[in-house]
Amino acid sequence: MWTFLLLACRSPLPPPPEPVAVPPATRWVESAAGIVLEVATDHYEHPDGREVTVMGSVHVAEQAFYDVSVARLKTSQVVLYEGLIDDEGASSSEPLRVAAAYGLASQTDVPVNHPGWRHADLHASQLREAMEAAGVSEVAIGDLMGRPDDPPPDPLDVPRAGTGRALARLALVKQLAEPPSSDALYQRWLLQERNEHVLREVGGLSSVGLWYGADHLPGLGEGLQRQGYEVDDRTWTPALIVGFQELKLGPTQVKMLMKRGT
């Protein structure tokens, strides 16, 4: 009998199941009023009762999108939010610049000083050092993270009103609805490295909200599944709408514009 017990103790545990692939977290849909950019929120539950809500975001959107996002995140006991911590003096005002040009709000302006909320991202210097140690070239690092001596970007040439403004916003919806870049360096360092960092902080917390860019959601979801979490639910939140009336085009014409080049 002891032999069988010893053999049983030495038997390897079964490997965890392969994660279910998490689809892209942005899409555009047609509503009665116009074309809508939607962003996903994924909910995961652990067999021991822990739960994680992963709320996707985009850096510019309608203010209502951020209001809804914050309200939903407040239902979690702890919220860990993204934002590569600039300790190299290379902070970019790109979201604010884009938001101003398109008449939208910027995520960087959303207050995050709520009880239980915590900045949970890497410092820029940490990410740079990790890339250097892995042999990534300085040119590639600069392309990913920017360079302190880069000239300021030119002003965005976006009409301030009328059909031109609406068409520009429609093009922005199309751009934001595209799947994450498949570039290997982008996937490895700007997504995977930062996903692994925040997933280590999830630890044994019982009720967690993760507020990260939509590109992070597939990797975060697969990482949570490797920790034993199970996919529970996906919902969609409108982030930006461009109306048919302001475009002065019918639904068929607008859908042709959205599908052109895809």
Q: Please state the three-class secondary structure of 49-85 as a single string.
A: CCEEEEEEECCEECHHHHHHHHHHHCCCCEEEECCCE
Q: Would 6 be classed as within a structural domain?
A: no
Task: Report residue 134 as tokens.
Answer: 């892995």
- Section 86-111 average pLDDT: 87
Question: How far is it, in rounded angstroms, from Cα 204 to Cα 224?
Answer: 12
pLDDT tens figures, 63-98: 999 999 999 999 999 999 999 988 877 666 788 889
In this predicted structure, which of 95-99, 110-114, 125-129 has the lowest mean pLDDT? 95-99
Q: Would 215 be classed as within a structural domain?
A: yes
Q: Would 37 be classed as within a structural domain?
A: yes
Closest CA to 174 of 61, 30, 37: 37
Question: How far is it, in rounded angstroms, from Cα 210 to Cα 198?
Answer: 9
Instruction: Kindly tell me if the per-residue pLDDT of 162 is higher than 60.
Output: yes
Residues in the chain: 262
Domain count, the chain: 1
Cβ atoms of 145 and 90 closer than 8 Å: yes
Q: Would 76 be classed as within a structural domain?
A: yes
Task: Report residue 6 as tokens.
Answer: 């010893």
- DSSP structure class, residue 190: I
At residue 2, the pLDDT reads 43
Task: Report residue 177 as tokens.
Answer: 């609805």
pLDDT tens figures, 21-39: 999 999 999 999 999 999 9
pLDDT band at 11 (very low <50, low <70, confident <90, very high): low
| Identity of the residue numbered 179 | P
Q: Which domain holds residue 68?
A: 26-259
| Three-state SS at 117 | strand
Q: Would 1 be classed as within a structural domain?
A: no
Q: Would 228 be classed as within a structural domain?
A: yes
pLDDT tens figures, 170-216: 999 999 999 999 999 999 999 999 999 999 999 889 999 999 999 99
Beta partners for residue 30, in sequence order: 35
First to last CA, the chain: 65
Burial of 90 (0-12, 13-18, 19+ CB in 10 A): middle
- Section 230-246 average pLDDT: 96
Instruction: Kindly tell me if the per-residue pLDDT of 164 is higher than 60.
Output: yes
Task: Report residue 230 as tokens.
Answer: 């199970």
pTM of this structure: 0.90
Cβ atoms of 34 and 242 closer than 8 Å: yes
Closest CA to 57 of 130, 106, 129, 96: 106
Q: Would 97 be classed as within a structural domain?
A: yes
Q: Would 2 be classed as within a structural domain?
A: no
